[in-house]
Amino acid sequence: MNRITQVWTGAARLIAGTLGAVTNGLTSSMPAATADRNVDMLIGGQAVIEGVMMRSLGGYSVAVRQPDGGVSIKKDKLVSITKKYPFLRFPVLRGSVVLIQSLILGMRALNYSASVATEGEEGQQEISNWAIAGSMLVALVLGIGVFILAPLGLTNLIRHYLAPQMGNIAYNAIDGVIRAVFFFVYILSISFMNEIRRVFQYHGAEHKTVFTFEAHEELTVENARGKSTLHPRCGTSFLMFVMAISIAVFSLVPSTAPFAVKVGARVVLIPLIAGLAYEVIRFSARHLDNGFCRMLVQPGLWLQRITTKEPDDKQLEVALIALKEALMYDAVEPEQAAVA
């Protein structure tokens, strides 16, 4: 595999993996000893290369299938920045903090999984360092270019040639629809890559494992096998909320503003949009007995039919190991996870 292919494949892996990244930040800020497993202890995770990262209240664990069939584990405790700076717990602001923390932790997990999954292969050091760093850069450029610059440029062309009198709301609605179409086509396209399909299988394994924990069942392959791969707190659903909310927020920027100003505003307003999306997905995930909340999460569940695939038992085993190891940092012991 040449360097260009490594970088582009790595970028796709990075974006595919971070589709579940926000979920691992949807945990309570309460101490583990006082957390209610049904309400506060929202376990989350992220698919990585040949493995899964799981995050509990007090720590995280990355479990990765090694080329020889074993499972490599990296784990550590987590210290929330909100404990040091309580003002970061304020609604909306906490969403931006969670996003940043989740992305940093997710990138570390991806980096670790890449080094383990390629252990013993020629060029391992190059893949784990140069290619991962390049992948992050390509993913960033790709995200800005495909999901900000291109939709905005096409919207400008539509207004110039087809609707010169287009209003601000219509302008941003068209921009948002184009962005959503680009996102859907991109996700659908990378889902046909064999390596990304395996990431999506581990994504499904992560969701099944979380559902098993939430059902108070023993963390076994048998119990996890029958669970759904679609979860309402998934990062895929989060991104759907981001795209919907961005249409309203970007409407605050006049459509007649210079192109550079509109691009800059879209980048600057990302933390605000992420914070609002976090609050919506957190609220809706806690109130799924409400018909309106179920309606809100439904588009994300539909999209997860692409971003999650049915895992095999070995992939489920890896996800379960990751969660058990992460739970070691909390009051809930893995052996007692089925106890209400």
- What the block records as the tokens of 84 is 């040091």
Tell me the pTM.
Answer: 0.82
Residue 59 forms beta bridges with which residues? 77
Return the residue matching tokens 């799981």. 54
Q: What is the pLDDT of residue 132?
A: 59
End-to-end, the C-alpha distance of the chain in Å comes to: 49
| Distance between CA atoms of residues 55 and 59, nearest Å | 6
CA distances from 83 to 17, 86, 227, 325 (A): 27, 6, 34, 23
Residues of the chain whose pLDDT is less than 70?
1-42, 119-136, 331-340
Token reading at 326: 């992460």
Continuous H helices in 164-193: 168-190
pLDDT for 225: 95
**Predicted pLDDT at 37:** 46
Q: Where are the alpha helices (DSSP H) in 191-290?
A: 194-214, 221-225, 235-250, 259-268, 270-286
Q: Which residues, at least 6 apart from 251, have a Cβ–Cβ distance to it below 8 Å?
A: 168, 169, 172
Quote the pLDDT of residue 40.
47
Distances (CA, A) of 317 to 76, 94, 254, 334: 20, 33, 51, 14
> φ and ψ at 335, to 5 degrees?
-65, -20
pLDDT at 34: 37
- Beta strand 51-55 with 59-65 is antiparallel
How much is the pLDDT for 20?
56
